Amino acid sequence: MKYKRILLKLSGEALMGNKQFGIDNERLAQYAVQIKEISEMGVEVAVVIGGGNIFRGIQAEEGGMDRVHGDYMGMLATVINSMALQSALEKAGVETRLQSAIKMEQICEPFIRRKAVRHLEKNRVVIFGAGTGNPYFTTDTAATLRAIEIEADVVLKGTRVDGIYTADPEKDKTATKYDTITFSEVYDKGLEVMDMTAFTLCNENKLPIIIFDMNKIGNLKKIMEGHQVGTLVEF
Ligand code: GTP
């Protein structure tokens, strides 16, 4: 197995599937099955999900809402998605624990790093909700921070595109995909991988990133088996 412990970042929007809003149960079940597959291979899996399918802090600000207020609402949205994924995973027969950066003791554990690591060692999938618990940080940053804290081998960012391209593939047909790229190349070329805070955190802590298409069934398993999928950002 290529990786022993991973942090999987899923986007909230992806959970919508073909819907306009909310959670598509089919998509959710699909994700659960793929996570189960790698968990059964013995990979220790932690997950961070965004909340964009329910609420986006930045849009709230555009609408006149206080940014900090909006960001907290976004954090709560990630807890809703985390609970949905937890339920789907348990339905698929995977043991899980949900930890939140904002205390909600009636519904989940608080984030305690050492406890999270213990759960992972017991092959439980650990979902981290409520981002970092702070406004002005994205869920990509939360994913990166948690990955560093639990000493994950890699951050896997599941998106709609299957990697990093020389240009935006939706706009430029001549764009080509990188199989691997270094952190300094990403900086030099001004490519967008994650927001700069998250990306820099990975760089400074020597944490590789894989950008891949999570909606292509089997991709996650292939990565664990060491196949080339998506784009690997390395040192
Ligand atoms: P071990 O110590 O490894 O056995 O872990 P464990 O998670 O099974 O032990 P624990 O007794 O801490 O947790 C049992 C269940 O209670 C799990 O489903 C936890 O997620 C849940 N749990 C633990 N702490 C909290 C909490 O503060 N709030 C909520 N809502 N659930 C909690």
The predicted-structure confidence for 60-109, as pLDDT tens digits, reads as follows 888 889 999 999 999 999 999 999 999 999 999 999 999 999 999 999 99
Per-position b or e across 86-108, b if 16+ CB within 10 A of its CB: bebbeebebebbbbbbbebeeeb
> What's the CATH code of the domain at 191?
3.40.1160.10
User: Structural domain tally of the chain?
Assistant: 1
Q: Are 150 and 116 in contact (CB under 8 A)?
A: yes
Q: For a pocket test of ligand 1, which of 108, 115, 120 has the largest count of ligand atoms closer than 8 A to its C-beta?
A: 108
Strand order in the sheet with 5-10: 109-110, 96-100, 125-129, 44-49, 5-10, 154-159, 209-213, 231-234, 180-182
Domain coverage including residue 62: 5-234
Q: What is the pLDDT of residues 162-207, one digit of tens each?
A: 999 998 888 888 999 999 999 999 999 999 889 999 999 999 999 9
Q: From ligand 1's centre to the CA of 115, what distance in Å? A: 9
**Separation of alpha carbons 213 and 220, rounded Å:** 9
